[in-house]
Chain A
Amino acid sequence: MTVEAPTSLGDWLDRHGRDIGLLTVDDVVDPGSFEATAILHQVETSSGGPPILFSNLRNLSGDRSPARMLFNTYSRRRSVGLALGVEAETWNDLLEALPEKSSGLLKPTTSAEAPVQGNVIAGDDLDLRILPWAKHVEMEGGLYFTPIVAARKPSSDRYNLSWNRVMFLDPTHAGVHISPRQLWSFQREAEEGGEDLPVAMILGHHPAFNLAAAALTAMDIDEYHVAGALMGQPLRITPSITFGPNLMVPSDAEMIIEGRLIAAHRVVEGPFGEYMRYLGPQKLSHLFEADAITYRPDPIVLEIFAGHRDHLNAHVSIHASLLAAARTAVPQVTRVGWFQGGGPTTAVVGLDKSADGQPMRAAMAILSAGNLIKQVIVVDDDIDVFDAQSVMWAISTRVRSDEDVTMLKGLQGSVLDPSHPGFGTTTGFVIDATWRIGQPRPPVARVPADAVSRFPLDRYTLKEP
């Protein structure tokens, strides 16, 4: 069911704050000393991790930050749904609604007025230490943000949005981990021409804007258009302060750091708590040099609670893309799930199977949709793909390993997967845990439903010893 989509991050908080369990912390908090995530951890343990807005933050200079900071935007299904204008009773409802939302691409509009440029810090005044950089989990290599990085492909007008981890290095530099996907290819194109790549690090916008950055889109699709689709309104853009029309930036963002990915330079960056719930190691990453900080009055930095549910759920657009890809290949696909523990490397496909061979086709479609998934388990649709116990029951009772497990070598994987050998390939598998067509299925051991009706429990006295 659709509901009226929020118009902005502030509108989402104002209209749905109570509904999504928003908590606000007005005490002075230093996110650079784990103070914010210590609070998040304790609240998550006791009440399941609602969104938390920190309104009074200390920055790296020890002063009050100009920005507030919001964590756990995506920690709950309801908050994700309401960000997209969807009232979803289950994760599956949300996944079913997303493809339709994201297919309605909306061209951005250019605005003369840009709230995000209400305050501009550049030149000698530029200092990244005014921002509330955070430490999330133990053994992280530095202070981090998790912004959306917007970049234009050097040889075209197409924009990409990607979600990146960014580590503070000094008042004008940061290290950026970039996976070998679209932003990587943009930077490589610029670098091979001897050029830096202009980018905008967007620290907060409409909560659906960030989900566009996590979507799997074709190289020829402008992700500013995808952002408009998910937000339910065209993205307003404006020339950046530093690069003018050569880098258009979202007018209604909360805060932006403009700068460049420096060609032919890399920097040691990491470790950082990743969505697979391990720390990604210290590695060679890209070097960012800042040119300007711009922000609207009283901005809110939207930050991910790294390595926690907020982080995994932020991949909901990818999850929905996998369902759509599998169903395109095999219309009998009913659901696609993944687990909090397995994260986006293992997918479970539910299938109303009508022909043998469909499980492998559906699995191949998911494996081909991106580089995250390396393992696919296909089950009949009597199995709840979101319930690990149910999935393991199917694997335990419907699989003969010599016939139903297929190893797949030579796959591109995710460099954040700890089992993955850097830039080499990885190995995955497909488990077909469905019954064969025509094979008699053993009846499931159940007490007859009519017996339960005939002998209701309230007729009896159950005594404790």
Chain B
Amino acid sequence: MHIKQVTCPRCGALSIVDGGLFEIGTVRLKCTNCAFYFEPAGSPRSKTIAEVTNANVEVTIWEPEDAR
């Protein structure tokens, strides 16, 4: 799995993310340091959720209550 490095815009912590998830760009990532949810800066937004999940159905991204 290719990885991308992302920086939390709130606390500046670095984390690693799957390259496919990064390339979706519209799915919020969770900072592993401060638990802030954010969209990755610099994503080309070139992939769909369907492509990255390899699912044969339309997929909804679920987030826990503390992310909303």
A residues adjacent to B (C-beta < 8 A): 139-142, 169-170, 173, 180, 188, 191-192, 262-268, 270-271, 279-284, 287, 415-418, 420-423
Contact = CB atoms under 8 A, between A and B. Distances in A.
B64 A420 contact: no
A282 B17 contact: yes
B17 A281 contact: yes
Contacts of A423: 20, 52, 54
Given A282-B15, A422-B1, A422-B18, A268 B59 contact: no
A180 to B, nearest CB: 7
Contacts, number: 105
A421 B53 CA distance: 13
Contacts of B62: 173, 262, 265-267, 287
A284 B21 contact: yes
A282 B16 contact: yes
A135 to B, nearest CB: 10
Contact of B18 (A142, A192, A267, A283): A283
Given A191-B55, A192-B57, A284 B1 contact: no
B30 A282 contact: yes
A37 to B, nearest CB: 16
Contact of B49 (A141, A263, A283, A284): A284
Contacts of B64: 169-170, 173
B29 A268 contact: yes
Nearest to A279: B16
B1 A141 contact: no
Contacts of A279: 16
A266 B61 contact: yes
26 contacts: A139-B15, A139-B16, A140-B32, A142-B30, A169-B64, A170-B66, A192-B56, A266-B49, A267-B61, A271-B16, A279-B16, A281-B4, A281-B16, A281-B18, A282-B16, A282-B17, A282-B29, A282-B32, A284-B21, A284-B49, A418-B1, A418-B2, A421-B2, A422-B2, A422-B18, A423-B20
Contacts of A422: 1-2, 18-20, 52
Contacts of B34: none
Interface string B44-68: 0000010011111111111111100
A211 to B, nearest CB: 26
* Size bracket, chain B contacts: 20 to 34
A62 B58 CA distance: 39
B32 A420 contact: no
B41 interface: no
Contacts of B52: 284, 422-423
A284 B49 CA distance: 9
A265 B15 CA distance: 24
A284 B17 contact: no
Nearest to B19: A422
A284 B3 CA distance: 13
Nearest to A271: B16
Q: When A and B form their complex, which 10 residue pairs have the shortest distance between CB atoms, in order from nearest?
A: A283-B18, A281-B16, A170-B64, A281-B3, A169-B64, A282-B17, A422-B20, A265-B62, A281-B18, A415-B1
Given A280-B1, A284-B49, A180 B18 contact: no
B18 A282 contact: yes
A370 B15 CA distance: 30
A415 B49 CA distance: 17
